[in-house]
Amino acid sequence: MTADYVIIGAGSAGCALAYRLSEDGRHSVIVLEKGGSDIGPLIQMPLAFSIPMNMARYDWGYQTEPEPHLGGRTLAVPRGKVIGGSSSINGMVYVRGHARDFDTWEELGAAGWGFRHVLPYFKRMETSHGGEAGWRGTKGPLHVTRGTLKNPLYRAFIDAGHEAGYPLTEDYNGCRQEGFGAMEMTVWQGRRWSAANAYLRPALKRGNVRLMTGVDAERIVFEGKRAGGVVIRQGGTTRTVTARREVIVAASSINSPKLLMLSGIGRADDLQAHGIDVVADRPGVGANLQDHLEVYVQYGSRQPITLNSHLNWLSKAWIGASWLLLRRGLGVSNQFESCAFIRSAAGVAYPDIQYHFLPAAVRYDGKAAVDRHGFQVHVGPMRSRSRGAVALRSGDPAQAPRVRFNYMSAPEDWDEFRACIRLTREIMEQPAMAPFIDGEIAPGTDVRDDAAIDDFIRAHVESAYHPCGTCRMGAADDETAVVDPQCRVIGVEGLRVVDSSIFPQITNGNLNAPSIMVGEKAADLILGRDPLPAANQEPWINPDWRTSQR
């Protein structure tokens, strides 16, 4: 029950940490995980991702408090409760984020986390199949692949974007994010390539890494101001896991702030109200909660080529059998095979809208939205100004925290979402889509003016499941920061946070890739190694961004 490093959470960052901290064989690592095994087709088959996302066995089952700007709706907040964490239940979309995202991190106080500093870690972590030479990694643990674009709808979407005047990009994870092109996924040889498959399983073979599952981490143990271990509950027994060097919290943007607060790190008044002794008064713990929202703009299909015909149990059984026996068929892809990143208006320097294209009209729970063939684009703004918070309900570790994002609380968010829908309609009206479109299903042709679009957004907007920011990284003298640029929790010793909760600002696109990158870079910081040499590549920025939207 003792190791040099104790990592709480076997998710995207935690698995990367376990791999790198144990790599030279000099240090022992214990990884604590609430969930259990990720073995089985529901997780490992890419097309099945909507199933584990909706299962209590694999998901913490969190929901928001009633969101005041969405008519009091409560939204799901899936977080992985399984080996691999959310990388084992997510949609497997791979997006690094835009270079300007990380330069913004540095401007917000995260010194050493600018794009030039993080690009070498993105390259170290990946083996890119088809990415841009010089910008992508070729020898890392994480395989990144592309779909076959076999369904003609994928190409039609890309062509429609180009017809509408937007650029094409051969690799949005390379020098040029802006544009339409193929989407990348963490899939390898037809299997979900989660952080567990890429990092944790190889680490466990070394002998100096131990994984403990079915573990509730209840609080961090302090000797004065120094973290010495973690009180855990496992199988009805409570005991302490001791860290000789450091405790590292990598439990997600929801559970990491919860654990810090239960351990006495947070806003002093709030902790005392729950009967928790204050170790460090850090009002930023749980604050700065951010997410991406999206709507599904759906269309009927003139041609019977969508996935809607495969949503019956007979077809699902055939897809599953083909995957299990041959690693072939629809099951080997997440079916998000084309995408786009565009700017909403002139004067926006880099993309602030993301598209996922899906050749089906479905909901995130995998159920059909309509009883005919259809397809949809998921679209939403990338840099919402709204901020929420994670808070304790009580001092009882077994209770779920309060999660309120304050979605759409910023007036600018409404402007940007209206632009998303109107720009989408313009793209889908291009000649490339004409052979396929048979009417607009949602929002519907009668939803045109601002008020009607706002009503649609309020009723139908969904989370893209990208929460982050609740243990924000910043300068050590920043009263609202939780960790410093070394990922050390400010005000205590021997304790770090390493996951998406430390993001100062949400990045463009899906968060799995930058979460893994944080684990990679933090491992060097923890071990006291020199950082990888900074890169000197310059990302492409539209030279006419000040005067042109595209």
Instruction: Specify the pLDDT at position 167.
Output: 98
Going by C-beta distance under 8 Å and a sequence separation of 6 or more, which residues neighbour residue 109? Answer: 473, 474, 475, 478, 481, 485, 504
Coil, strand or helix at 403: strand
Residue 366: how many other CB atoms lie within 10 Å: 16
> pLDDT averaged over the chain?
97
Per-residue model confidence as pLDDT tens digits over 180-220: 999 999 999 999 999 999 999 999 999 999 999 999 999 99
Q: How far is CA 132 from the centre of its chain?
A: 23
Instruction: Specify the pLDDT at position 258.
Output: 98
- In whole angstroms, how far apart are CA 332 and each of 43, 323, 328, 359? 12, 7, 6, 15
Contact 416, 281 (CB under 8 A): no
Instruction: Specify the pLDDT at position 365.
Output: 65
- The response to whether 1 counts as a known ligand-binding position is no
Residue 37: how many other CB atoms lie within 10 Å: 14
Burial level of 95, CB count in 10 A (0-12/13-18/19+)? buried
Distance CA 210, CA 204 (A): 7
Enter the DSSP assignment of 300: E
The set of catalytic residues is 466
- The response to whether 174 counts as a known ligand-binding position is no
Instruction: Specify the pLDDT at position 311.
Output: 85
Q: Which fold has domain 148-182+293-381+409-460?
A: Cholesterol Oxidase; domain 2 (3.30.410)
Paired residues of 104 in beta bridges = none
- The response to whether 82 counts as a known ligand-binding position is yes
What tokens appear for 151 in the block? 């369904």
Instruction: Specify the pLDDT at position 313.
Output: 87
Contact 192, 88 (CB under 8 A): yes
Whether the predicted model's global pTM rises above the 0.85 cut: yes
Instruction: Tell me the CA end-to-end span of the chain in Å, nearest whole number.
Output: 57
Beta strand 126-128 with 237-249 is unpaired
What are the boundaries of each domain within the chain?
A: 1-141+192-289+389-394+467-534, 148-182+293-381+409-460
Instruction: Specify the pLDDT at position 69.
Output: 98
Q: Which of 296, 62, 306, 80 is nearest to 192 (CA)?
A: 80
- The response to whether 90 counts as a known ligand-binding position is yes
| CA-only gyration radius of the chain, Å | 22
- The response to whether 308 counts as a known ligand-binding position is no
Coil, strand or helix at 404: strand
Residues of the chain with pLDDT under 70: 364-368
The residue written with tokens 């259990």 in the block is 36
Distance CA 125, CA 116 (A): 16
The half-sphere exposure of 14 on its side-chain side, counting CA atoms within 13 A, is: 37
Instruction: Specify the pLDDT at position 371.
Output: 82
Contact 293, 466 (CB under 8 A): no
Distance CA 265, CA 182 (A): 44
CATH architecture of 1-141+192-289+389-394+467-534: 3-Layer(bba) Sandwich (3.50)
